[in-house]
Structure 1
Amino acid sequence: MSRQNGPGVMWALLGMLLLQSWVAGVPTGVLSPAVPDAPASSNPQPSGGDLVDHGDGTASLTVWEEPLGIGVVRDTWIGSAAPDSNHATSNGLLVGHSSNNSDRNCAMLALDLDLASLLTNVSILSASLELMTSQVNGTPELFTHMIYRQDWDPDQATWNDHDSGQPWEVSGAQGNDDSGGLMDQQIALANGSWQTFDITRSVDLAHFRRSQGFDSTAGVLLCGPAWGDSNVEFLSSEVAMSSARPRFNITFAWGGSSTPSPNIRWVDVHPRSPVRIDADSPLTFSATARTGQGDVSSGTVVWRATTGSIDAGGLFTPDVANVTKIEADVLGVLGEVSLHVVPGMPVSLSLTPETATLPIDAVLNLSEELLDAHDNVASGMTLSWHADVGSVNETGVYTPSAVGEDSVTVYWGTLSASSDITVTPGTPVHLLFDSDLTVPSGGTLPLVPVVTDILGNVMPLASAGAITWESEQGSVDFAGIYTGAVTGTWRINATSDFGASGQALVEVTAGSSPTSSWCRRTARSPPTSLSRCNCCG
């Protein structure tokens, strides 16, 4: 994923926004609704910002950073590949993971409710964050959490530190003291889209805390995938056109200020989604329960896992490779993590089939299987293959080269498995005849072909099936006995039921000529039923 918006991408997005604003008749510097008449004097009013009074006791406020440097909205992104770098002046907010440098990125945004002119005596009904996508790779799943720390500084924050020289509890603001209270979870939209995230919990908590004399900042941590190559870049508050900057929308009720519940409202689990381990590696989880006012609350944690096992201390022992749900139950309030368990180190290797017989003109697909200690199939491993006689490629396709016995072996590390293969002749292709066949006119000659496959391997005569004969002169009966007639050399075509074919050339000589070559051959061995002929005397 690019570390900076290219000028072409940036100007294309800004041009699109200008065109949309022009068509809608809205000034390009402001995409929010115009400020209506002030509400009745009995209702409190903000001193600034874009306010819409809905006329039913509720109103909406939309704010973004304008002019630059006012500090109502501040943002940055942090990355594991450059853990000590701050990116508060970047035009983009990077979120997700890039596989080429194992870089995970999270965006961080801060809304100052005082600078946004949100009065204290209103009740927060809902709040959202809108971000403009400028570049999307893959389909990253995005998670929004509150930032708990009040002392983090967007101008100093890095992957390692929340402020200069002040480390996060866990790098990347992933600790339960750093952030939590999952607010939204969704897939990144296409380039050039406004994506809206629910951040009600963060704004409501910040609104309550400032009424108690604490910091007035609502912090949002936006993270995505922790592995693979799936990421998104949003435009930041540094982008030139203010209408493309991050926008915070707050809907509230006039009069009174809501007080969040002092009871447990959510449970944070660390490490948090997304998490990936292999089936050989136990992992310890921790849980922190918080009240609606953001305070840590005590309570016994009851752990549950859909697969594998987890003990009372949060130690999870995996077995099956799949997506496991880890639950932390504190007084009936659940915190959850989706844990991706992948196969562990392979401990066995098998090859299927273990034995096989195939004709030489065929190929055999061999299938290997690597298993870990829990019988999970390990895929994507680099294997090596070897065939004693024939050949085998990297996907296990074996091609024989000679009739006989062969063996194929596959290797991974110190593991190996073999398949014993018997290679037989292939499909009958050729019918071969002697080249010096002669018979006297009126005599008979049995035509007995030699059957071979395409590679010349000799096969049983019966493998050819029934043979059909066609002669230029003379005749051949169903048993292949040729009777000579007109003298000369004649071609006899033979075709078998199974597709083999060939031709014999037979010389027919005059009447009672010297003994035919067939008679001469058979006279050297004891007569058989096929050696009868009127020329053998």
Structure 2
Amino acid sequence: TCATGLSLSTTASTPTGTYTLTVTGTGGGVTKTTSFGLTVTAGGPTTTTTVSFQDGVLPTSAYAGTRDTYLDRSAPSMNYGNSTTVWVDGDDGKSALLRWKSFTLPAGSTVTSATITLTVTDSTSGTYNLYALKRDWWQDYASWTSYGPGYSWEVPGAQGTSDREATVVGTVTAPATGPVTITLNAAGIALVQSWVNSPSTNNGIIIDNPTVTDGLAFASREASTASNRPKLTVTYGAP
């Protein structure tokens, strides 16, 4: 009689892939050899940490990395970087720009989830989409026609393929005023991960949907109540 069972363990340095294992057993003068496949896959982080970034509040009151404004087709050269309210309205040609600069996670961190919390001041019956921006826009200069002094969008309203990505990274629906949390999808998580890996690529997001006729407004980074300002929350696993 012989007991059956085999225990294997790997380390963090074990390369992923498929291995062929050969086991030879001998007992009672009989030798038997068996081969089988073993697949090693990458495991997720065992411990995660959640951190938020909100001007004047999180992770400390010293954080001031948020940038926001909105673009307005009816006022193509106007900049709203100092407005206490950010507007989005499809049929009126308004779209919001948001970015959290100077947020850092430990080198090698893996982002597992990300959310954006906005304090809605004017609700909407529609759904607006979030897209990654490709231009390094300036809060104090961005307008319907340009993203910085002397720099024009490829297409006004940041609608060109050189202005924004085509993939939706999240959606926002806000049927009532007050806080609303946007959960970024897999593409959104990958976007935040790219900001962690290469901070210079962090151009933030644009919120837009030209088919929606009911506008949305939310408190900006200039809001007098700090807890109402836009907040980015990231959950990550340390290396």
Fold in common (TM above 0.5): yes
Aligned residues, how many? 188
Task: Give the AA of the match of 1:123.
Answer: T
**By how many angstroms is 1:193 displaced?**
3.5
Counterpart amino acid of residue 191 in structure 2: S
**Alignment partners' CA distance in 2, 1:60 and 1:195:** 15
Aligned to 1:492: none
What is aligned with 1:62? 52
Q: Aligned in 2, Cα 1:156/1:120: closer, same or farther, shift over 3 Å? A: farther
2:56 match: secondary structure: coil
Structure with more contact order per residue of length (Cα contacts < 8 Å, sep ≥ 6): 2
Instruction: Please list, as runs of the form range in 1=range in 2, the aligned pairs for 1:57-136 lying within 5 A after superposition.
Output: 57-66=47-56, 71-97=64-90, 103-112=92-101, 115-136=102-123
Q: 1-side partners of 2:113 and 2:99: how far apart?
A: 17
- Preserved contact between residue 118 and residue 231 of structure 2 (Cα < 8 Å): yes
Residue of structure 1 equivalent to 2:177: 191
Unaligned segments of structure 2, at least 5 residues: 1-44
Correspondent of 1:223 among 178, 200, 208 = 208
Equivalent residue letter for 1:160: T
Larger-Rg structure:
1
Alpha-carbon offset, residue 124 of structure 1: 1.3
Amino acid at match of 2:82: T
What are the equivalent positions in structure 2 for 1:14-93 lying under 5 Å apart?
A: 56-66=46-56, 71-93=64-86
- Among all aligned residue pairs of Structure 1 and Structure 2, give the percentage whose two residues are the same amino acid: 23
Describe how 1:410-425 pairs up with structure 2 within 5 A: none
Q: After superposition, what is the alpha-carbon deviation per residue over 1:325-368, rounded to whole angstroms, capped at 9, x for unaligned?
A: xxxxxxxxxxxxxxxxxxxxxxxxxxxxxxxxxxxxxxxxxxxx
Instruction: Give the root-mean-square deviation of aligned CA atoms.
Output: 2.2
Is 1:236–2:220 an aligned residue pair? yes
Contact 1:77 1:87 in 2 (8 A): yes
For 2:98 and 2:144, locate their aligned partners in 1 and report how far apart those are by CA, in whole Å: 14
Gap change, CA 1:69 and 1:158, over 3 Å in 2 = farther
Which letter maps to 1:231? G
Contact 2:67 2:221 (C-alpha < 8 Å) held by counterparts = yes
- For 1:128 and 1:143, the matched residues in 2 are separated by 14
Matched residue SS, 1:193: strand
1:116–1:186 Cα change, 3 Å: closer
Determine the C-alpha separation between the residues in 1 that align with 2:50 and 2:208: 27
Which amino acid is 1:143 matched to?
N
SS for the counterpart of 1:173 is coil
> How far 1:154 moved relative to its partner?
1.8
CA distance in 1, matches of 2:154, 2:211: 18
Read off the aligned partner of 2:238 and give its amino acid letter. Answer: W
Superposition deviation, residue 216 in structure 1: 5.7
CA contact (8 A) 1:142 1:185 kept: yes
TM-score (norm 1): 0.33
Relative to structure 1, the CA distance from residue 245 to residue 104 in structure 2 (aligned partners, 3 Å threshold; closer, same or farther) is: same
Once residues 165 and 237 of structure 1 are traced to their aligned partners in structure 2, the CA distance between those partners, rounded to angstroms, is: 25
Normalised to the residue count of structure 2, the TM-score between the two structures is 0.72
Cα offset, 1:71, TM superposition: 3.7
What is the aligned counterpart of 2:236 among 252, 256, 260? Answer: 252
- Kindly state the Cα deviation for residue 143 of structure 1 after the two structures are TM-superposed: 0.4
Quick one: structure 1 residues 178 and 110, their matched pair in 2 at CA, closer, same or farther if it must change by over 3 Å? same
Query: Are the structure 2 counterparts of residues 165 and 70 from structure 1 closer, same or farther at C-alpha, using a change threshold of 3 Å?
Result: farther
- What amino acid sits opposite 1:200 in the alignment? I
Matches of 2:189 and 2:128 in 1, distance apart?
Answer: 17
**Aligned partners of 2:194 and 2:201 also within 8 Å:** no
User: C-alpha separation between the residues in 2 aligned to 1:201 and 1:85?
Assistant: 33
Contact 1:140 1:225 in 2 (8 A): no
CA distance 1:128–1:76, shift in 2 (3 Å): same
The corresponding residue for 1:176 is 161
Assess, with a 3 A threshold, how the Cα gap between structure 1 residues 116 and 209 changes in structure 2: closer, same or farther.
closer
Deviation at 1:70, TM superposition (A): 5.4
Measured in 2, the distance between the counterparts of 1:70 and 1:193 equals 20
Q: C-alpha deviations, 1:49-84, integer Å up to 9, x for none? A: xxxxxx942111111011799541111111101111
Tell me the CA shift for residue 174 of structure 1: 1.1
Superposed, which structure 2 residues align to 1:380-391 within 5 Å? none
- 1:138-157 alignment, distance < 5 Å: 139-149=125-135, 151-157=136-142
Q: Deviations over 1:453-493 (max 9, x none)?
A: xxxxxxxxxxxxxxxxxxxxxxxxxxxxxxxxxxxxxxxxx
